[in-house]
Amino acid sequence: MVQTVLIKHLPEHIDQTVVIQGWLHTKRSSGKVAFLQLRDGSGFVQGVVTKADVTEEVFHNAVSLTQESSVQIQGVVVRDERAPSGVELQVSNVEIIHETHDYPITPKEHGVDFLLDHRHLWIRAPRQRAILKIRAEIIKAIRAFLDENEFTQVDPPILTPSSCEGTTNLFHTEYFDRDAFLTQSGQLYMEAAALAFGRVYSFGPTFRAEKSKTRRHLIEFWMIEPEMVFTTHEESLIVQEQLVSHIIQHVLTNCSVELKAIGRDTSILQKYVAPFPRITYDDAIALLQKDGHDITWGEDFGAPHEAAIVEHFERPVFIEKFPTSIKAFYMKPDPERPEVVLCADLLAPEGYGEIIGGSQRIDDPELLLARFKEHDLSEEDYAWYMDLRKYGSVPHAGFGLGLERTVAWICGLEHVRETIPFPRLLYRLYP
Ligand code: 4AD
Ligand code: MG
């Protein structure tokens, strides 16, 4: 029996006859030889079918093969220095499993709406595959880092009775005879979990009914939310920069083929090593004003502001201590200056903007109660959250890293829509 192998393992089978199972990506042929670009999910390889070496039927199968037909190919693995993987296949048999006709995504240019309508097929394209592969490796890197640093994964609910990040972009749904919302963030539940486990993280989908049609907003996105007890704002920043550095190093080490496939300049990525610079919100405002931006203390940053700030650093940069009035109810005020909170946003360079939002949390029950009132939050809805300050409250901090924005930045993409298999956008719920 001839062994069936994955394309990525072909270099381990030089001079052996093997079978690969996959699809035809593209094809070139003359009267005497056909070059098949084959893919199987694990990689790409060229199969060379020489008329003189195979039966008439096999050669006919090869030259008539259509894009995205599924095939089983037998051949001998030979070295080829010009091939990206260093090998090609000298084909002896071509068996068609399913013949495809009129595959919609041809090698010509397509508009982005057309491609998104065909996202279920578009993900087969080499560039899309590379991006989603890097996404998977980034997830692996995050889990490895957190698992090695004593974090336990805890899964928060997706259906929730109340909000975490304000009520303006809550996704409403029905929960039998009462209202419910899709989670905006697992944070409040992670705070409960941290008091049970010490260091925890969640990794799951989050939802924001944001009427934003920008290159960095998704309606459904994935967030990693670590939460740590006996931890200050400053200590949390160290974990954040180490995590981001670890992700970059992991991708550089494990995704060279994919980074090359998408044309990412890796010399830029190599520079993104912790520690990252830190500036206060105050200094950021001063910087922007000096650059001629029309912004005053107390206003939040927009995308152009964030881009202008990072331009001064060319590396990820933390903006610390935002005004209390523009941040979430749970953030702990700076004891020396209660008009600002112990929080930070990590801005990615190259114009990608905020990839992490984090803070130290209020641990004092009196202050939390006051915040409920200021933010018009029902004490009853948040009674369980208040319990965390009543029973063994400790200083604690955490953060949320947006997976898709991180992938977009590391891959150097125009838009977050390509960083998730099936993007949910303002005007898109299909496929
Ligand atoms: O800054 P955010 O809103 O923070 C929280 O939700 C906190 N509760 C997290 C925590 O402390 N546990 O969101 C965190 C990150 C942002 O920095 C951004 O990367 C990403 O989530 N994000 C989005 N990504 C894509 N599309 C959107 N609409 C996003 N909104 C936030
Ligand atoms: Mg934020």
Per residue in 57-107, pLDDT (tens digit) is 999 999 999 999 999 999 999 999 998 889 999 999 999 999 999 999 998
Distance 187 CA to ligand 2 centre (A): 13
Angle between helices 403-411 and 126-148 (to 10 degrees): 120
Q: Rounded to the nearest whole angstrom, what is the distance from the C-alpha of residue 310 to the centroid of ligand 2?
A: 16
Cα of 358 vs centre of ligand 1, distance in Å, is 9
Cβ(340)–Cβ(347) below 8 Å: no
Residue 427 has pLDDT above 90, yes or no: yes
Regarding the beta carbon of 225 and ligand 1, being less than 6 Å apart is answered yes
CA of 194 to the centre of ligand 2 (A): 21
Ligand 1 proximity of 165 Cβ (cutoff 6 Å): yes
Contact, 49 vs 58, CB < 8 A? yes
Q: Please tell me the distance between residue 413's alpha carbon and the centre of ligand 2 in angstroms.
A: 21
Confidence of residue 309 (pLDDT cuts 50, 70, 90): very high
pLDDT by residue (tens digit) across 335-347?
999 999 999 999 9
Strand 199-207 relative to strand 171-175, pairing: unpaired
Contacts of 108 (CB under 8 A, 6+ apart): none
As a whole number of angstroms, the distance between CA 15 and CA 77 comes to: 5
Mean pLDDT of the chain: 97
For the Cβ of 202 lying below 6 angstroms from any atom of ligand 1, the answer is: no
Task: Give the pLDDT score at 339.
Answer: 98
In this structure, which residue's CA is closest to atom 9 in ligand 1?
A: 400
Per-residue pLDDT for 126 more than 90? Answer: yes
DSSP-assigned beta bridge partners for residue 204: 223
**Helix (H, G, I), strand (E, B), or coil: what is residue 45?**
strand
Task: Report the greatest alpha carbon distance in the chain.
Answer: 86
The whole-angstrom separation of Cα 77 and Cα 25 is 19
C-alpha of residue 286 to centroid of ligand 1, in Å: 25
Q: What is the pLDDT of residue 157?
A: 98
207 lines ligand 1 (CB under 6 A): no
Closest ligand 1 atom number to CA of residue 354: 17
Q: Which residues pair with 26 in a beta bridge?
A: 37
- Judge contact between 34 and 28, C-beta under 8 A: yes
Q: Tell me, what's the pLDDT at 107?
A: 87
CB 267 within 8 A of CB 260: no
Q: Which ligand is nearest to the CA of 359?
A: 1
- For ligand 1, atom 23, the nearest C-alpha belongs to 402
Three-class DSSP category at 339 = strand
Q: Rounded to an integer, what distance in angstroms lies between the CA atom of residue 190 and that of residue 207?
A: 17
- Tell me what pLDDT residue 212 has: 84
The ipTM, to two decimals, is 1.00
Ligand (nearest to CA of 419): 1
Which ligand 1 atom is nearest residue 416's CA?
25
Q: What is the pLDDT of residues 20-67, one digit of tens each?
A: 999 999 999 999 999 999 999 999 999 999 999 999 999 999 999 999
